[in-house]
């Protein structure tokens, strides 16, 4: 699997080397997948793949349909680009059939596949290796919160604009978790303001608050020790109508994971081993060690009791504001002096 920036290099060499039989774009960031697919289409058109067909993998889809389309060229085109779109995780049967079909794929037909992110199990499967042998799979990562200001800076530079670090931070706060809207806000700045350095006051007035979060963003902010961002996330989730049990589950699961790691380390395990056993990986591997350094076992126990109290409130078994209880847990997880514990 290659990264998105490597795809640009590959497409740049396509005029001399041609396109591989299949290019598979796998990712959950809609904007980046759309832009990558557009780049593949432009390259295909430049190489005379002038006919294009789109197939969507839905319930009942069979690989025979794809094979029929790969064999049928119109009278007005000698090359064809077929797009195969997975709306959900590719099933094993269809993925294996696709890998088999690519073994004898026609030279005048190229396949562009788009799908959600492929998990570790998919990447370790036999069909994944066979598809990579016939073409390339591009893993399109989401733009993390830490990378968002840089991403915004690059987008502004494309339209001849730049902003200082504080202005980029402001924009990032208002568009976090909503990359499609982030791109629209950047384009709006290109229309409203001249090229060059942007005025921070004008940006504040122009950029809408279109940030979107999920419960895992809240947990990541709290684990990072960012109490202010944790509050923004929690308020955003509440205003969007997110169900309390969804947020509660994410917070409680994070606290339980920290507790398991802490107990495993107390029994002599290394932190790395304890985190693997607790199924902590990715960005969380960086956040958890710092969280554990500031959170005692007593505080973790108190947070779990507060989660249980929020659960009873949600079910009507105890009086109180369940969102207020969630706020207490999130702030405690971020290290704020709440819940009457040191």
Same domain, 120 and 157: no
- CA 151 to CA 168: how far, in whole Å? 10
- The answer to whether residue 340 sits within a structural domain is no
Same domain, 251 and 173: no
> Global pTM?
0.73
Same domain, 301 and 318: yes
Same domain, 188 and 265: no
> Do β-strands 109-115 and 22-27 pair in parallel, antiparallel, or remain unpaired?
parallel
- The answer to whether residue 339 sits within a structural domain is no
- Residue identified by tokens 């005692």 is 296
- The answer to whether residue 87 sits within a structural domain is yes
Same domain, 136 and 28: yes
- The answer to whether residue 221 sits within a structural domain is yes
Same domain, 90 and 126: yes
Same domain, 76 and 123: yes
Same domain, 260 and 324: yes
Tokens matching residue 135 = 């073409």
pLDDT tens across the length of the chain (342 residues): 899 989 988 898 887 888 899 999 999 999 999 999 999 999 999 999 988 999 999 888 888 888 888 887 666 667 899 999 998 888 888 999 999 989 888 889 999 999 999 998 999 999 999 999 999 999 999 898 889 999 999 999 999 999 999 999 999 988 888 899 899 999 999 999 999 999 989 998 888 877 788 899 899 999 999 998 899 899 889 988 999 999 999 999 999 999 999 999 999 999 999 999 988 887 788 899 999 999 999 999 999 999 999 999 999 999 999 999 999 999 999 988 876 644
Same domain, 136 and 58: yes
Could you tell me if 223 and 288 are in contact, meaning their C-beta atoms sit under 8 angstroms apart? Answer: yes
Domain end marker among 119, 140, 161:
140
CATH number of the domain encompassing residue 277: 1.20.272.10
CATH number of the domain encompassing residue 163: 1.10.8.60
Please state, in angstroms and as integers, the Cα–Cα distance from residue 188 to each residue in 134, 164, 165, 193, 194, following that order: 41, 18, 19, 8, 11
Q: Which structural domain, as residue segments, surrounds residue 66?
A: 2-140
Same domain, 16 and 66: yes
Tokens matching residue 273 = 């081993």
Same domain, 189 and 264: no
Same domain, 190 and 232: no
Phi/psi zone of residue 80: left (φ > 0), alpha (ψ -120 to 50 degrees), beta?
beta
- The answer to whether residue 338 sits within a structural domain is no
- The answer to whether residue 342 sits within a structural domain is no
Q: Total domain count for the chain? A: 3
SS3 197: strand
């Amino acid at each position: 699997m290659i990264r998105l920036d490597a795809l640009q290099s590959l497409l740049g060499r396509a005029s001399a080397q041609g396109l591989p039989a299949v290019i598979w774009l796998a990712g959950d960031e809609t904007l980046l997948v759309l832009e990558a697919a557009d780049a593949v289409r432009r390259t295909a058109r430049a190489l005379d793949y002038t006919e294009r067909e789109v197939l969507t993998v839905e319930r009942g889809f069979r690989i025979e349909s794809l094979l029929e389309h790969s064999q049928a060229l119109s009278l007005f085109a000698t090359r064809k680009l077929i797009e195969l779109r997975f709306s959900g995780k590719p099933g094993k049967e269809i993925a294996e059939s696709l890998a088999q079909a690519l073994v004898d794929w026609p030279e005048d037909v190229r396949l562009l596949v788009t799908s959600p992110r492929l998990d570790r199990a998919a990447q370790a499967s036999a069909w994944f290796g066979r598809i990579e042998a016939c073409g390339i799979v591009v893993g399109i990562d989401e733009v993390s919160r830490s990378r968002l200001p840089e991403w915004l800076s690059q987008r502004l530079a494309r339209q001849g604009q730049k902003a200082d670090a504080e202005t980029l931070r402001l924009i990032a706060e208002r568009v976090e978790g909503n990359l499609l809207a982030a791109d629209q806000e950047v384009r709006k700045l290109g229309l409203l303001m001249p090229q060059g350095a942007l005025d921070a006051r004008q940006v504040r007035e122009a950029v809408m608050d279109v940030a979107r979060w999920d419960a895992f963003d809240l947990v990541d902010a709290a684990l990072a020790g960012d109490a202010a961002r944790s509050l923004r996330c929690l308020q955003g989730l509440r205003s969007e109508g997110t169900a309390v049990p969804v947020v509660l589950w994410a917070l409680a699961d994070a606290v339980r994971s920290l507790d398991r790691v802490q107990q495993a380390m107390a029994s002599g395990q290394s932190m790395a081993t304890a985190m693997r056993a607790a199924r902590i990986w990715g960005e969380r591997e960086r956040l958890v060690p710092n969280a554990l350094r500031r959170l005692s076992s007593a505080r973790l126990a108190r947070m779990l009791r507060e989660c249980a109290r929020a659960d009873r409130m949600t079910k009507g078994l105890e009086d109180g504001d369940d969102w207020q209880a969630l706020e207490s847990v999130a702030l405690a997880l971020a290290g704020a002096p709440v819940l009457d514990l040191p």
